[in-house]
Chains A and B, each alone.
Chain A
Amino acid sequence: MNKTFLVFKNELLTTIKRRSFILTLILIPLGGFILTWIIGGFGRNTQSQQISELLVPSSPPEQEVYGLIDKNNLIDSIPQDYEDVVLPYDSEAEALSALKEDKITAYYIIEENYIEDGKITLVRPDFNPLGGNNASYMIEDILTRALLSDDPDLANRIQFPMDLEYRILAPETSRDPNSSLTFFLPYVVTMLFYMVILGSSSLMLNSITNEKSNRIIEILMTSIQPRQMLMGKIIALGLVGLLQTIVWTSSGYFLLLLSGRSINLGEGFMLPPSILIWGILFFLAGYALYGSLMAGLGALVPNLREASQATIFVVIPMVIPLVLLSPIIENPNGALAIIFSLVPFTAPITMMTRLSAGSVPIWQSLLSLVLIFTTTYFVIRSVAGFFKATNLLSGSAFNLKRFVRAFIGKN
């Protein structure tokens, strides 16, 4: 009689009925809803900048005024849009006096040989190499307009030489590439994916170590084959993880819709629909791989305390894509991103980062899935080999050497 279904049913029911699981499942999206509601309440008609204003209330900005001395008489008058912030002075003495009286922040001097050498001097009372050059773009603009006063169109073109418009041939990109949120989104997806894969595979580790610490494992060994027990647990906890992923993702999606209305995040935060399907596939692949590894770990550790310490060995490959997140996001089709999205242990997270950062050739996603599932097959086979009473009933302390030996079938 195959008892896999009995184990599956028990694992599924006991896990989803657990108070801590229900709380985690509900509280995380609920927290998001509350936050969105608060933000939405603060500014229904405002832009996303108000999120940061909500978090860090800003005081009204102080208007900085700059002086300008034109020794070449190039500038007839200060353009209207800079009249309040750039004041012309006839002499340096007048400008200096205004500076001392705090009427201006600093002043620029267009030197006599400006046309030949382009020399301009900035005089300011303090040393501020990072923020002290704030008005230079205004002086540049004023000079460009003055120099090309005969041809305003040319002046305008020099100032804005490229009005870039994206035309993306990939069928599903509905995001605005100019939006800063496009950059932010892969980080969110990656972190979410890391959390759900780690969370679900940790459920596996907890389940086995709990049975060990509850000392029920010996009774189970006389009632069910270890392999059936392993399979029942992997499938049930995979479904639990999938449920968690779907609830969180749907809540997140709903939250974005809500946010779109309330804080107007725009298209930058939109994901193509296919990413949800890829997400489910890569979650299942990632969970199956890491869940099996955690099951192997669970078989070899004597208790939950040692299990937590030993988890680090399994989690390291999952953390690598997080460490390399910036280069992967900046170049989602670069060599680094492609390699890590094909190496099975780093692939689930890296591929999701790539998919959320840009378009990925479909063959790479499929190859990645095939490689992960193939590796998972061998990992499960290996774990099933040492998921037996000798290890499950052993009280020996965990060590990496034993773990590796068990995986290569020398235990």
Chain B
Amino acid sequence: MSTISVKSITKNFGTQCAVDHVSFDVYPGEIFGLLGPNGAGKTTSIRIVLDIFEPDSGEVTVFDGPMTEAKKNRIGYLPEERGLYQDIPLEYCLQYLASLKGMDKEVSHKRIDAYLERFDLNQARKKKVKELSKGMQQKAQLISTLVHEPELIIIDEPFTALDPVNTQMVKDILKEQRSKGKTIVMCTHQMHQVEQLCDRLVLINQGKSVLYGSLNEIRKNFTGNVVEVRTHETLPENIPGVTAIRHTNQNGDYMLTVEEGITPQKLLKTLINLDIQLEQFEIASPTLDEIFIKIVTKRDEGNE
């Protein structure tokens, strides 16, 4: 049973089609990446999932049914446009937002105390939100997303404008939440961040879903006939089964393009037989950025 099931949703704003027949499923306990460049339709898709926008067509189920007010209390959402009430004390602001998520006052007090301590915001609890630094406000927003212990966490562009320390903190928290069995949807255009965290993903471009599946499967499907090799020796100009050798840097890294029909195992045997001292032998897998560029370029060529 999926936590979120999106079936062929479409949303138009005037003449502009923001989301065009997008479908995906998110399963319990996974980090799911909703990826795509800026303006691809990620945030609109998320807003449709959260029942903020109604789709023009298509269907969304959350926790095995349509969205209800009660279900919204089981979701933690950190929107791309971060915001908090600016003119009230931080602690009061967090308590009010927690109460809107149906939290009991005493429980929310305890949890907020614990989070403020953990995020090093204890000293700032009585300060007005507008008096806090940007980093502190981002931490506070994360607290308001997590304080009611949601089963489903949806975070839109989680790493935008974060320094490396806070980026790592968010990553650690997301991993921690996954280990607790929470379902996480991470919506971002920073694909390299997704590679370290996501189990599965959907890639959206110009409102359309262009790639969907587990990260490993996708990589496997897009893995070409290139092998990365590192050795301190100089490679011979001709290696059986290799059509091209490229010296990528001065550290002994080479990219070998393998003939069709030659498996990496066969090539490895050949290199050992040639008595080459190998430090590294790896099937080159493309990054998500490379895969995305490849897909988009192919589509554009197809459209021409």
Contacts and interface: CB of A to CB of B under 8 A. Distances in A.
Interface of A: 1, 3, 6, 10, 14, 18, 210-211, 214-225, 389-390, 393
A23 to B, nearest CB: 15
Interface in B52-86: 52-53, 69-70, 72-73, 75, 77, 79, 81-86
B42 interface: no
A222 B77 contact: yes
Interface of B: 47, 50-53, 69-70, 72-73, 75, 77, 79, 81-88, 96-97, 99-102, 144
A56 B73 CA distance: 66
Contact of A218 (B75, B79, B99): B79
Contacts of A216: 83-85
A14 B87 contact: yes
Given A225-B69, A389-B47, A389-B52, A220 B87 contact: no
Contact of B96 (A10, A222, A389): A10
A82 to B, nearest CB: 71
Given A3-B100, A6-B99, A389-B47, A218 B69 contact: no
Contacts, number: 59
A370 to B, nearest CB: 34
Contact of B87 (A1, A6, A18, A390): A18
B79 A223 contact: no
A211 to B, nearest CB: 8
Question: What 10 pairs across the A-B complex have the smallest Cβ distances?
Answer: A215-B83, A223-B100, A216-B83, A218-B79, A389-B52, A215-B81, A222-B77, A214-B83, A221-B52, A222-B50
B196 to A, nearest CB: 27
Given A1-B102, A218-B79, A219-B144, 10 more contacts: A6-B99, A211-B85, A214-B86, A215-B79, A218-B77, A222-B52, A223-B72, A223-B101, A224-B100, A390-B53
Nearest to A218: B79
A223 B83 contact: no
Nearest to B93: A216
B63 to A, nearest CB: 14
A214 B47 contact: no
Nearest to A1: B102
A393 B52 contact: yes
B6 to A, nearest CB: 17
A219 B70 contact: no
Contacts of B97: 219, 223
Contact of A219 (B53, B69, B79): B79
Contacts of B82: 215
B8 to A, nearest CB: 21
A402 to B, nearest CB: 13
